[in-house]
Amino acid sequence: MTKTYDLIVVGGGFAGAAAALAAARQGLDVLIVEKSNCFGGAAANNLVSPFMGYWTTDPETKERIYLSNGIFREILDGLDEMGALTQGGTLFHEEYLKILLQRMLLKEKVEVLFLSYLTGAIVRDDRIVAITVANKEGTQEYAARYFIDATGDADLAVRAGFPTTLGREKDHLCQPMTLCFRVAGVDLEKFEKSRSTINPLYQQFQREGKIKNIREDVLIFHNMVNGVLHFNSTRIVKRNPVNAMDKTLAELEAREQVLELFQFLKENIDGFQNSQLLMTAMEIGVRESRMIIGDYVLNQDDLIACTKFDDAVICGNYDIDIHNPEGSGTSHYYFKPGQYYTVPYRCLYPIGSRNLLVAGRCISSTHEAQASYRIMPFCCCLGEAAGAAAAICAKNNSDVAAVDLAALQSYLKAQKLIF
């Protein structure tokens, strides 16, 4: 007889890991399914780094007010104890992150299934009763009372028959995909002195047709390994991240951009003379794809107004950071010190859902709103909120739309995810 879990979480990134942890700590029997060989999601699979800002600043005292706490704070503390966190809590070592997350999940007796792709959902009487996955053993079926979609692409929601949107409303184009990469053997002292010359020369080469990459500049971050720099600078536009052929073409195009950028640096920028191309991410990074249609659709006006919803589950204030889906350029809307918005619980489940919650960058929102809450710290908090909600619903045997909101927000306040 097939085992039935209390909760199955699909996706082992920050959202999925936090969801599984929050639910398991409330007594649920949890299975987490992940397509890769580790936890960490965008950080591990796509080399997304560092953490973008997860705090606001008190206008008077200038002190930080942290918006992402709870399990995300535990992760930060764990990384710090391992010597894998620096630069004010933003730069981290993803290999230690993988180990930390698996230790945290195993400690709570979460059952783990790696290297398994979601292939389908079995729905009866408007409830998901099981999922199917494909792995080395073939196709397998796993049943549960509740489910959380933490795939980033709303894969489970789609397979269960719930409607989604894709990208921006007018043309369904998504923010560009980026294949991050690392360069080793850099003379960092020389690099810092020559750094200001990189973008002007890069843009000159673009005008002369020597650089094909359409991104407007070269985005470089430091790394915890000495002599290694991190690049978030490839740009693939007008490709659908949830179309298999489009994503394949994106990987092929981005890899050529990586070599083009590396050769540009090695041949023209002081400090890169003895550098080596170290690695590219296992998978191209996706900023935006599908989003569910929930009981509420979070929009840009909500964010700019710093709306505090009655059913708030997390706080956020990262800028509305939209990389042009059509070409070069990146637009920003920055929040003033002390300002933040909230995300309502109604965005965490599809309309009509009885036992499916969604966490991460694919919750119910517009293209513009998603550009702000999509960062890893906020996705982690969305995951924790979804996991806590699933635990409360399981205890009360209620549909996800009928969660005991007072109990959920009591938990979230204790975790300092809302104030």
Confidence of residue 84 (pLDDT cuts 50, 70, 90): very high
Residue 52: Cβ within 10 Å count? 16
- For residue 200, give both structure tokens: 């002007």
Is a pLDDT exceeding 90 seen at residue 2? no
What's the mean pLDDT in 182-188? 98
For the stretch 132-181, pLDDT in tens is 999 999 999 999 999 999 999 999 999 999 999 999 999 999 999 999 99
Torsion of CA 383, 313, 56, 230, to 10 degrees: 20
In 3D space, the residue among 253, 257, 191 whose CA is nearest the CA of residue 222 turns out to be: 191
For the stretch 33-79, pLDDT in tens is 999 999 999 999 999 999 999 999 999 999 999 999 999 999 999 99
274-287 as b/e: b if 16+ CB within 10 A: ebebbebbebbbbb
Q: Cα–Cα distance between 219 and 210 in angstroms, integer?
A: 18
Q: Cα–Cα distance between 317 and 334 in angstroms, integer?
A: 8
Q: What residues contact residue 216 under an 8 Å CB cut-off, 6+ apart?
A: 203, 328, 329, 330
Q: Cα–Cα distance between 166 and 148 in angstroms, integer?
A: 20
Do residues 214 and 325 touch, judged by C-beta distance below 8 A? Answer: no
For the stretch 203-256, pLDDT in tens is 999 999 999 999 999 999 999 999 999 999 999 999 999 999 999 999 999 999
Q: What is the mean pLDDT of the chain?
A: 98
For the stretch 91-101, pLDDT in tens is 999 999 999 99
Phi, psi of 184 (to 5 degrees): -105, 165
User: Do strands 181-184 and 290-292 pair parallel, antiparallel, or not at all (unpaired)?
Assistant: unpaired
**pLDDT score of 65:** 97
Domains, the chain, in order of start with CATH, read 4-170+288-414 (3.50.50.60), 177-286 (3.30.70)
Residue in the block written with tokens 């706490």: 69
Count of alpha carbons within 13 Å of 373, Cβ hemisphere only? 38
Coil vs helix vs strand at 219: coil
**pLDDT score of 1:** 53
Residues in the chain: 419
Q: Cα–Cα distance between 206 and 183 in angstroms, integer?
A: 21
Coil vs helix vs strand at 210: coil
For the stretch 271-295, pLDDT in tens is 999 999 999 999 999 999 999 999 9
Do residues 165 and 157 touch, judged by C-beta distance below 8 A? Answer: no
Q: What is the DSSP letter of 348?
A: G
Confidence of residue 126 (pLDDT cuts 50, 70, 90): confident
Phi, psi of 33 (to 5 degrees): -110, 130
| Cα 62 to the center of its chain, rounded Å | 28
What's the mean pLDDT in 388-399? 98
